[in-house]
């Protein structure tokens, strides 16, 4: 839903809105620098959306989400939700 909103803003030529939507997405993506971090972050986001019921990953893994990362992701998620709903 976030990427769809970004795409729609780009398609309509609304670069200001596209930049606003891009900012929280970029914050979340910035933590996805390896395959393990990508899986951890995306699974965390899918649990937040009710798609998955847990964030468990098969080991071994080289990246485990901690509270400092989830705090940033949660803030970016809330920011993105507000932007998309506006």
Helices (H), 1-86: 2-11, 15-29, 35-48, 67-85
Helices 67-85 and 35-48, axial angle in degrees (round to 10):
60
Q: Rounded to whole angstroms, how far apart are CA atoms 43 and 25?
A: 15
Task: Note down pLDDT in tens along the chain; length 86 residues.
Answer: 999 999 999 999 999 999 999 999 999 999 999 999 999 999 999 999 999 999 999 989 999 999 999 999 999 999 999 999 98
Residue for token digits 């080289």? 62
Q: What are phi and psi of 84, to 5 degrees?
A: -70, -35
CB 30 within 8 A of CB 24: no
pTM over 0.85: yes
């Amino acid at each position: 839903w976030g990427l769809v909103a970004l795409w729609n803003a780009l398609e309509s030529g609304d670069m200001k809105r596209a930049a606003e939507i891009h900012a929280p997405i970029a914050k979340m993506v910035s933590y996805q620098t390896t395959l393990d971090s990508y899986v951890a972050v995306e699974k965390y986001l899918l649990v937040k959306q009710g798609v998955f019921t847990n964030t468990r990953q098969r080991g071994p893994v080289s990246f485990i989400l901690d509270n400092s990362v989830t705090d940033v992701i949660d803030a970016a998620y809330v920011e993105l939700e507000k932007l998309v709903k506006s």
